[in-house]
Amino acid sequence: MAAGAQSVDRAFELLEVLGRAGQPLSLAEIAQRTGLAAPTAHRLLRTMQAGGYVNQNASRDYSLGPGLIALGRQATPALALLAQPLLAELEEISHETANLAVLEKDLISYIAQVPSRHQMRMFTEVGRQVLPHASGVGKAILSTLPEARARKIIERTGLPGYTESTITETPAFFADMRESRRRGFAIDDGEKEVGVRCIAVAIPGSHPPAAVSISGPAARVTTAASAAYVEALQQAARTLAQAG
């Protein structure tokens, strides 16, 4: 590996260590956690500190700096920024976690979220990628694609089982897709995690394909509650389609 590329790799490793720590770390702690020599870690930290990407407090411990916030805002998809207030409204209506996800190649990426106010809640961190067949947002997105395209995605990803409820047979899966298309929303009923239910609606005409969802414990996201959630999700999806 070239020296320049190695320095970049090491710099990112330092940032990830600081991010995972959740508190300031001393130079010795950073060096120990990364396996870098202290002089090497110090040189990289000093360079990133000059750019505002790392802070050093009065105790000479290091933490992530505000320069990363500006970079993060620029990297956040425009759709995620538009969706944030709508996700907050969905959480207000349901008191459950509201998500926005997009199709990236063959995977579903979560790009925005407003967590439920309940202590017991569904939480899928922003940035996480999952297979489409066992998630509400994934099923909603696939149901709006031309079936030939959806079949190619499923051929590549497969239909691995996560719970007893996961649909693992291709004919049954596409029957479920056609039903989702007919009714205008998709349901993940404990197909990824036991006891979790997710209601999702695709955003019409979104590029890349995207969907919004409400998810939570099945004991709270009941069939009766879901009817109201579907209407709110469909309105949010229409608003995002018009805004985009």
Tell me the pLDDT tens digit for each residue of 202-235: 999 988 899 999 999 999 998 888 888 999 999 9
Q: Which helix (H) or strand (E) holds 213?
A: strand 210-217
Q: What is the dihedral of CA 175, 176, 178, 184, to 10 degrees?
A: 170
* 189, β-bridge pairs: 197
Report pLDDT digits (tens) over 106-158: 999 898 999 988 777 666 777 788 999 999 999 999 999 999 999 999 999 99
* Neighbour-count burial of 184, counting CB atoms closer than 10 A to its CB (0-12 exposed, 13-18 middle, 19+ buried): middle
Which alpha helices (H) appear in 95-167, and where do they start and end? 136-144, 147-157
One-letter identity of residue 21: A
Report pLDDT digits (tens) over 157-172: 999 999 999 999 999 9
Does this model's pTM top 0.95? My answer is: no
Q: 124: closest CA among 22, 23, 226, 216?
A: 216
Any idea which residue has 């202290």 for tokens? 38
One-letter identity of residue 174: F
